[in-house]
Structure 1
Amino acid sequence: MAFPSIPSSSDSAETPTVFSGLQRFRRRHKALWLGLGICGTLLIFGLPVAKQRFSAVAEDAPGIEASAVEVLPVETLAIQPVAGYEVARAYTGEIAAQRSSDLGFERSGQLAEVLVEEGDLVTAGEPLARLDIRNLQTQRRQLEAEKARASAQLAELQAGPRVEVIAAAEAAVRDLEQQLLLQEAQYTRRESLYIQGAISAEELDQFNYDRNALQARLDQSRSNLAELQNGTRQEQIVAQVALVQQLDASLADLDVTIGKSTLLAPFDGIIATQSVDEGTVVGAGQLVIELVESVAPEARIGIPTATVSQLQVGTRKQVNLGEQTYPATVASVLPEVDVNTRTQTVIFQLESVSVASATPGQTARIELVERVPTDGFWLPTEALTQGIRGLWNCYVVTQAEGGDTYTVQQKAVEILHQTGDLVLVRGTLQPGDRIVANGTHRLVPGQQVQP
């Protein structure tokens, strides 16, 4: 029998040191030692119980696996391919009046009367304002008097001398002829008396001068009689006609000036602004009234060139002005393309019913239905689940071969367009595939279902 060796002096010195260290460790970590003891107890008594439970679960496992297979009822739909889709796009523009005029007088003067107010509807040719024309009316009366006198003289020239005037001229000629005969006889006697020395040479010369003067008067009377008998010269008539025509031209020019003193509407429209009031002295060309055409306003809307090609001149569309919709006709398509928006301006002619509501500069909107050619399938939004990399998933119902069992397969699709609760997708789908229409959150690939 072996006995323990007696420690040497060096071992005896070391043993109390180790023992004391263990004692200090136990005091400091008393809770740790307690926990280790509890865990050991649980392991000793719990292992048999756990082994028994696991054995029971293993025996019941076939039943549990059998009950996990669950067939879910689903609603399906058969999909058919489409070659494109229609989308409604809205384009905006503005109302542009066909014509807008800043109206003013062609001459200066005092504004005597304004016949319209802002907002009034006027027709073409309707007077809008008038200038003071009293001085022009006075000038016209003066010209009318001058023309009347010139016209009377012309009529006299065209009629020629009167019979009474010619008769008086003939009588004057006969009178002078008789006086000249008497003067000749007296001159002959005076010559005899001069030869006899009864009269002086001075008296004879004076008598001879009187005879010559009487002869000149007779020649003048005969010339006047001949002029009267020949009638008025054609040159005089032409000159008088020209004078009358000159007065007519002056009257016409004055009438034009008077006419320009009344401001007329050049077209049917609405009075937009009235710039001056009665009594104001306005200059030639100064703005008095702004008139905006009110007949058949136009809507100018920029539309992409690809869409413009689908519009035909003369087709009817609906144009929205605020909350109201008005019929319009495609009037024309401007050829220029906006370099910034890449659109062309399409002019829509609105019907007259929109006159009261359409104002220049007002926003106009039109909705056009465009067809986008693309292959795809329409699915309800509830048939999709979120996929990866921007794709979506749907479930296709397939039937097992030789049985009535149905399962679902997951197919990745790409969304092309959405309208309401429908989406147009493309992917690995085939025409006639039956898609789970809703409740896809309950499904997993390979899930048995009952359509």
Structure 2
Amino acid sequence: MTQTPDPRDATANPTDKTGAARARPARMKIIIGGVLLLTIAGAVLYTRSSAQANLDEEQTRLARALMVETSQIKAQDHYQIHQKYSGRIVAGRESDHGFDKGGLLAEVLVDEGQRVKKGDSLARLDMRRLEARLGELDAELSQSIALDHQAGAQLDRAQATYDRYKVLRQQSHISAEKFDQVKFDLAGRKAQKTAAESAILRTKAALKSLRVDQALATLTARFDGSVVRRYQDEGTALGAGAPVIRLIEDEKLEIHLGLPEAAVAKLSPGDIHVFQQNGTRLTARLRATHARLDPATRTVTALFDILETSAPVHAGSLAQLTLAHEVPANGFWLPSDALAESRRGLWSVYTVTPAKGNHGATHGTVARQELQLLYTDSERVFVRGTLQDGDRIVTGGLHRLVPGQMVKLAKGQ
């Protein structure tokens, strides 16, 4: 059964109604304060948790940082271009030795590859005809000498007769006709004597010429060197000037090198240069340069005398000379391994920015820098771009890196 509230209850205790109204705001303040305290505590707890998480994340990044090799770069205002030029090693002298007159080749005394000294015999002609002719001239000389003696005796007798008849003619004991006969006889004897002497001189000259031919019938080396070719063998009938032996002066080698005019202008006779020939080091002195430009190659030939070699070299091989000249340009020398391909024909490099805090000396983050390649020199390149003097770059292992990655510097860097 439902009970009807008693109206007297609402007015029975007015004090209780006022106290309840007053207690309500106080409870709200307490609730709001509690919420604020909880919010502040939560924020503090969240901040501490975030900081700890960030710290843990940073520690993790540092622990997982990839170790890289780096180097510090320095700005340059020029770079050197090294250009290689190839020259031919030639013998100081090289000639084909042959006989100045034709004949039958009787003997070849050397073979290819054999070393000879100046004056050594190389080959001989058949000299039987020369020897026979020498015998004839010797006989002619003996006959001419005998005739000269006879003419001399006859001249002495004619001179004595002339002297006697001259006195008799002065005394008019003989006729003028008789004296003229004696005078003409003396003149004839003098002519015979002169002819005999001329015959002796002519025969001696022929003998001398024949002895020269006899000497030249033996082919001798004109300088120290090596036999590089043997053209003829025994029994060959040679014409005058036909080559028999080719000889080169391989102990005195030189290099003939064609250079551009600009490069030649920087060289001075007497300068020492180092050549390379298949790993062999050659030290050579510039002797001279040609006075004309080769119209075919547009180069000037420079002549170098080889002074010293680290190993034997041979005439006919090639030797390389490296010359450097400076090109004005602002940029940096970088190791070739520090480059990575980029877009639009450019290249890139990774620079290292030191990490914040106490780890800046050992750790950093990498960033990509775009570069333009100016010159390549063996294991390094000259570039220009957004790099700054003193930047530290990664010198290897670029395929493992991405921009913003944490890295650890190798020890000693």
Alpha-carbon offset, residue 297 of structure 1:
1.6
Q: Is the 8 A contact 1:295 1:352 kept in 2?
A: no
Correspondence for 2:314 among 334, 350, 359: 359
Q: Secondary structure at the match of 1:119?
A: coil
Q: Secondary structure at the match of 2:99?
A: coil
Q: Is the 8 A contact 2:225 2:247 kept in 1?
A: yes
Q: How many Å separate the matches in 2 of 1:449 and 1:133?
A: 91
- State the Cα deviation string for residues 109-154 of structure 1 (Å, max 9, x = none): 2222222222122233332111111222222222222223323433
Q: Is the 8 A contact 2:134 2:210 kept in 1?
A: yes
Alpha-carbon offset, residue 100 of structure 1:
2.8
2:138 is matched by which residue type in structure 1?
Answer: E
Q: Give the 3 Å change call, closer, same or farther, for CA 278–419 of structure 1 in structure 2.
A: closer
1:237 is matched by which residue type in structure 2?
Answer: K
Q: Does 1:139 align with 2:94?
A: no
Q: 1:173 corresponds to which residue?
A: none
Q: Is the 8 A contact 2:366 2:402 kept in 1?
A: no
Q: 2:101 corresponds to which residue?
A: 107
Q: How many Å separate the matches in 1 of 2:132 and 2:223?
A: 32
Q: Does 1:269 align with 2:264?
A: no
Q: How many Å separate the matches in 1 of 2:378 and 2:100?
A: 63
Q: 1:252 corresponds to which residue?
A: 208
The higher radius of gyration belongs to 1
Alpha-carbon offset, residue 313 of structure 1:
2.1
Q: Is the 8 A contact 2:354 2:365 kept in 1?
A: yes
Q: Give the 3 Å change call, closer, same or farther, for CA 67–422 of structure 1 in structure 2.
A: farther
Q: Give the 3 Å change call, closer, same or farther, for CA 445–282 of structure 1 in structure 2.
A: same
RMSD: 4.7
Q: How many Å separate the matches in 2 of 1:294 and 1:420?
A: 34
Q: Does 1:425 align with 2:383?
A: yes
Q: How many Å separate the matches in 2 of 1:409 and 1:249?
A: 98
- State the Cα deviation string for residues 42-100 of structure 1 (Å, max 9, x = none): xxxxxxxxxxxxxx9xx958844773473859997654322333455443232223433
Q: Does 1:291 align with 2:247?
A: yes
Aligned pairs for 1:65-84 within 5 A? 67-68=53-54, 70=58, 79-84=73-78
Q: Is the 8 A contact 1:112 1:130 kept in 2?
A: yes
Correspondence for 2:268 among 296, 312, 316: 312
Q: How many Å separate the matches in 2 of 1:66 and 1:383?
A: 37
Q: Give the 3 Å change call, closer, same or farther, for CA 397–140 of structure 1 in structure 2.
A: same
Q: How many Å separate the matches in 2 of 1:335 and 1:96?
A: 20
Q: How many Å separate the matches in 1 of 2:146 and 2:211?
A: 23
Q: Is the 8 A contact 1:93 1:302 kept in 2?
A: yes
Specify every segment of 5 or more residues in structure 2 that has no aligned partner in the other structure, as ranges.
Answer: 1-41, 166-173
Q: Give the 3 Å change call, closer, same or farther, for CA 319–155 of structure 1 in structure 2.
A: farther
TM-score by length of 1: 0.59
Q: 1:154 corresponds to which residue?
A: 148
Q: Is the 8 A contact 1:161 1:231 kept in 2?
A: no
Q: Give the 3 Å change call, closer, same or farther, for CA 128–380 of structure 1 in structure 2.
A: closer
Q: 2:26 corresponds to which residue?
A: none
Q: Is the 8 A contact 1:103 1:287 kept in 2?
A: yes
1:147 is matched by which residue type in structure 2?
Answer: L
Q: Is the 8 A contact 2:351 2:391 kept in 1?
A: no
Q: 2:331 corresponds to which residue?
A: 376
Bigger Cα displacement from structure 2, 133-142 vs 343-352: 343-352
Correspondence for 2:113 among 115, 119, 133: 119
2:53 is matched by which residue type in structure 1?
Answer: S
2:322 is matched by which residue type in structure 1?
Answer: E
Q: How many Å separate the matches in 1 of 2:107 and 2:396?
A: 78
- State the Cα deviation string for residues 351-401 of structure 1 (Å, max 9, x = none): 3769x943332232333444444322344567666544313144364899x
1:414 is matched by which residue type in structure 2?
Answer: Q
Q: 1:237 corresponds to which residue?
A: 193
- State the Cα deviation string for residues 274-306 of structure 1 (Å, max 9, x = none): 233333333333332222232412222344444
Q: How many Å separate the matches in 1 of 2:359 and 2:94?
A: 78
Identity over aligned residues, as a percent? 32
2:76 is matched by which residue type in structure 1?
Answer: V
Q: How many Å separate the matches in 2 of 1:97 and 1:332?
A: 16
Higher helix share: 1
Q: Secondary structure at the match of 1:147?
A: helix
Q: Is the 8 A contact 1:392 1:415 kept in 2?
A: no
Q: How many Å separate the matches in 2 of 1:81 and 1:435?
A: 13
Q: How many Å separate the matches in 2 of 1:309 and 1:433?
A: 39
The number of residues matched between the two structures is 344
Q: 1:25 corresponds to which residue?
A: none
Q: Is the 8 A contact 1:95 1:299 kept in 2?
A: yes
Q: How many Å separate the matches in 1 of 2:184 and 2:294?
A: 85
Aligned pairs for 1:120-199 within 5 A? 120-158=114-152, 160-161=155-156
Q: Is the 8 A contact 1:383 1:395 kept in 2?
A: no
Q: Secondary structure at the match of 1:276?
A: coil
2:255 is matched by which residue type in structure 1?
Answer: A
Q: 2:8 corresponds to which residue?
A: none
1:325 is matched by which residue type in structure 2?
Answer: R
Q: How many Å separate the matches in 2 of 1:381 and 1:114?
A: 61
Q: 2:285 corresponds to which residue?
A: 329
Q: Is the 8 A contact 1:157 1:232 kept in 2?
A: no
TM-score by length of 2: 0.64
Q: Is the 8 A contact 1:397 1:435 kept in 2?
A: no
Q: Give the 3 Å change call, closer, same or farther, for CA 436–323 of structure 1 in structure 2.
A: closer
Q: Give the 3 Å change call, closer, same or farther, for CA 244–86 of structure 1 in structure 2.
A: same
Bigger Cα displacement from structure 2, 336-345 vs 225-234: 225-234
